[in-house]
């Protein structure tokens, strides 16, 4: 039952936001009593923490699997973006920004975990891209890794990028292109253009 509660809560939180979904909403959606939820999660904060860490583990595992395929580094980034979007349901409620606002301790823990996973993944991606002559040899790998992570967090700020104007998919698509055009060699740009054309068709 614990896992079922996590699955349903994750779906509701992603679609409607951490703030607006109540324990009553979750119980009603699942056709169970609120007491049943409290058996597994003593309060909403614990439930938010449980769903957040579940989603993090799920996405981290998926990203690890994609990275292990050793694909072309540019293709790898597009695959990761696609995978993340599938699991975050286009972030209609901007969950990460809500988490920062209403559950700062959970957000801080999640941010640290995300940084550890992303740091390794992006670092390896950049090094392989340089080796394959797709990325410029002059880039500072550690700097790009950190600015990439920070920018990924920044585009989820709904004050800066209101969801009415920017969908999360559009933001990620545009940022990925922006990132790659800044580090690609001519050979890399050719491959990037192929992916952009393919995605648009």
Beta-bridge partners for 135? 184
Residue 91: predicted pLDDT = 53
Confidence check: pLDDT of 93 > 90:
no
Confidence check: pLDDT of 156 > 90:
no
CA distance 174 to 108: 26
Task: Identify which has the larger pLDDT, 86 or 91.
Answer: 86
Confidence check: pLDDT of 96 > 80:
no
CATH number at 86 reads: 1.10.357.10
- For the chain, the domain total comes to 1
What pTM did the predictor assign?
0.85
Tens-place pLDDT, residues 5-27:
999 999 999 888 888 899 999 99
Tens-place pLDDT, residues 157-188:
888 988 889 888 889 999 999 999 999 999 99
DSSP 124-187: HHHHHHHHTTSB-TTS-HHHHHHHHHHHHHHTT-TTTS-TTT--HHHHHHHHHHHHHHHHB-HH
Q: Which structural domain, as residue segments, surrounds residue 147?
A: 2-200
């Amino acid at each position: 039952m614990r896992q079922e509660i996590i699955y349903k809560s994750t779906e509701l939180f992603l679609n409607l936001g951490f703030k607006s979904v109540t324990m009553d909403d979750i119980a009603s959606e699942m056709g169970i009593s609120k007491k049943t939820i409290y058996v597994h999660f003593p309060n909403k904060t614990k439930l938010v923490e449980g769903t957040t860490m579940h989603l993090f583990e799920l996405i981290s595992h998926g990203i690890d699997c994609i990275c292990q395929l050793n694909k072309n580094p540019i293709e790898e980034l597009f695959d990761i973006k696609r995978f993340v979007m599938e699991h975050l349901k286009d972030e209609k409620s901007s969950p990460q920004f809500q988490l920062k606002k209403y559950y700062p301790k959970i957000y801080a823990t999640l941010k640290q975990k995300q940084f550890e996973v992303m740091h390794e993944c992006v670092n390896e991606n950049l090094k392989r891209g340089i080796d394959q002559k797709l990325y410029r040899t002059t880039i500072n790998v550690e700097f790009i890794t950190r600015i990439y992570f920070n920018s990924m967090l920044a585009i989820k700020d709904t004050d800066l990028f209101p969801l009415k104007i920017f969908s999360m998919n559009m933001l990620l698509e545009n940022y990925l292109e922006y990132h790659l055009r800044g580090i690609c060699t001519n050979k890399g740009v050719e491959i990037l253009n192929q992916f952009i054309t393919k995605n648009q068709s």
